[in-house]
Structure 1
Amino acid sequence: MNMRPEESQQTYLELLQKRLDVQAVLMLPDFPSREGTYYLIVAKQPEIDGTIRRVLFQDQSIMEQWISMWQLEKGTIYGLDEKLAHMLARAEILIDKADYMRQIKQRLLRITDSLQKKLICREYSHLVLFFHEAKEWLQQGLTLDAYHAFVQALHAWARLIAYEMGEHPQAALWVQVKRLDSSVYRLYEELSMNAETLEKRIELLVLAIEFAVTSRMKESVRYLMELMETKVGPWRLQELMNHPAVQAADIQIPSLIDKMVQRSFIQEVVCAGSEAGEQETCFILLG
């Protein structure tokens, strides 16, 4: 005799409740384009992080997405993936051992000053990187590649705006940006839907993004400048790129360094290289 869906779900949850490796279970009540029930399962082991399974339990279709406690804790420091953050925000907590999930959700929703600086620096570095790529493609006459890079640059700009306003970027990012900064929303609209030729649409973006990159630089690179202050003397490029705080935050160092040199935030100096007689360009923070 087949069990009713609610009975099957209860049995499934009871099994998860007994598992020592499971810390919490959440359910997405209206996950789009999926049959059955979608569960987010918070595990204690980091190695299971990101695992997605579709299972059939007592004739009921179930989708499982596993997240580790380590990933969530990391998200409170460096920010969480936007799609996952959106899912967690609307998911219903069904199992919550030691009240962990309720507390971690509150921490994930907060943007501390230190986290805000880090996230702003990350998105700004992506904006600079994609804008540089877009201009390179334009110079080579590769309009479609330039268009793709400009779209990525605008998305980085949109996320940057959200973080500047103390908000996490939402899944419906451009609805959010329309509310926060309608001028940037209009740029995205012009690029996507204007009746002009693609070349003309791209031309409209160059000056606007160039101005954004220039005017936002001082505040946007504050995180990196404060990191450079922790060391007396020059930094090697690879040393900055390999710094754990930079890698964890996904900050694109080479694109930032060039801009910071141009604006005299940092200065190029010559350091001894790893080989005898070799010299290397290093960077020192200017007061």
Structure 2
Amino acid sequence: MEDILRPIYQERASQANTLGVLMIKKRLKDIPVTDTFDAVLLVLVTEADSPVSIKHYTYHDKKAALYIVTENQLNEWLLLGSNKKIFDWLYEGKILFDRNEYIQNIKTELMEFPFYGRKLKMGLEFAKLIRRYMNGKAFFENDQYLDAYNHIVHSLHHLARLAVIEQGFHPEVTVWQQVKQIDPEITKLYEELVTSHEPLDKRLELLFLASEFLIHSKMKSGIQHLIDVLAEKEYWTINEMICHKEVQLYSVDLTMLLEYLIDKGIIEVVMKETKGQGVFHRYYKLGKKLS
């Protein structure tokens, strides 16, 4: 297959804005990280008209895909974890072209996983975790058990990803296989939820009790990024937080996360008068309960 695709990737490699080319081959009886294609060519470029461009090819009974991805899009995927298979592609792909060791440097950084990057990713996962958990609890309290189940499954997935990141690893496609080695208690909780023969309401009730403890155990590492940002000044409006270049990455979940942290005494609300009688601006500051 590589010989067939050689003219395609060689053409791309000759272009000045191409940073690197990887080939990912389909592995038998494996998770379809190539989306069932026999091979994927990943071409990384400095810039393009579109962040992602895809082409499909057929040769006899084989099929291949070409992905042209900009550097900015790749960095976003790596930061937000919004494209799980990209990690597998970078780990397992064969380097066909690498300008100034661009791809090799990315692979080295992924293996080392700098602590700052971990803090930000943990903040993203914890914010998503809290939204899912609180939504699930609200549905549960309103006897909407199937909706509660859906949200709590997602919250456990974010908890699992958080545990993996905390230990210095990137969550991959097989995140439950990873977390089984890292934090088996989370895996056990997940298995009890999805395999137990107890009535659904009883399963959820027990899970909310158990997961509260696990969430609390991950809270310190999960909110450290936000705490570091808020320490930059004494008072913040919600808009100032959302507009912060790093906090805006999880701004969708920020309001619910703030309410959770206010309830835990980690963030305090400061009221400031407006021109309207009895109406106050809400400002936020770090509380004293940070241990």
1:228-239 paired onto structure 2 within 5 Å:
228-231=230-233, 233-239=234-240
1:19 corresponds, among 6, 15, 38, to 15
Residue 286 (str. 1) matches residue 287 (str. 2) = yes
Residue 65 (str. 1) matches residue 61 (str. 2) = no
How far apart are the structure 2 equivalents of 1:213 and 1:187? 12
> Deviation at 1:251?
7.0
**Structure 1 partner of 2:24:** 28
Q: Tell me how large the CA RMSD over aligned residues is.
A: 2.5
Residue pair 2:78, 2:87 contacting (<8 A) in 1 also:
no
What is the TM-score with the length of structure 1 in the denominator? 0.88
Q: Which moved more, 1:52-61 or 1:110-119?
A: 52-61
1:187-206 paired onto structure 2 within 5 Å:
187-206=189-208
> Deviation at 1:53?
2.1
Residue pair 1:78, 1:249 contacting (<8 A) in 2 also:
no
How far apart are the structure 2 equivalents of 1:189 and 1:47? 45
* Stretches of structure 1 lacking an aligned partner (at least 5 in a row): none
- C-alpha distance after superposition, 1:243-262 (max 9, x if no partner): 21012356721122112222
Residue pair 2:79, 2:121 contacting (<8 A) in 1 also:
no
Compared with structure 1, are the counterparts of its residues 280 and 46 closer, same or farther at alpha carbon in structure 2 (3 Å cutoff)? farther
Letter paired with 1:55:
Y
How far apart are the structure 2 equivalents of 1:75 and 1:127? 19
Residues matched between the structures, number: 281
- C-alpha distance after superposition, 1:182-229 (max 9, x if no partner): 111011111111122222221221011111223332332121111011
Letter paired with 2:261:
M
Q: Percent of aligned positions with the same letter in both sequences?
A: 26
> Deviation at 1:153?
0.4
* Stretches of structure 2 lacking an aligned partner (at least 5 in a row): none
How far apart are the structure 1 equivalents of 2:202 and 2:161? 25
Letter paired with 1:62:
A
Compared with structure 1, are the counterparts of its residues 49 and 285 closer, same or farther at alpha carbon in structure 2 (3 Å cutoff)? same
- C-alpha distance after superposition, 1:20-51 (max 9, x if no partner): 33221111112636344211111121543232
Residue pair 1:121, 1:251 contacting (<8 A) in 2 also:
no
Letter paired with 1:255:
M
Residue pair 1:24, 1:41 contacting (<8 A) in 2 also:
yes
How far apart are the structure 2 equivalents of 1:54 and 1:218? 45
Q: Which moved more, 1:15-24 or 1:172-181?
A: 15-24
Residue pair 2:159, 2:215 contacting (<8 A) in 1 also:
no
Compared with structure 1, are the counterparts of its residues 7 and 284 closer, same or farther at alpha carbon in structure 2 (3 Å cutoff)? closer
2:138 corresponds, among 112, 136, 139, to 136
Compared with structure 1, are the counterparts of its residues 194 and 209 closer, same or farther at alpha carbon in structure 2 (3 Å cutoff)? same
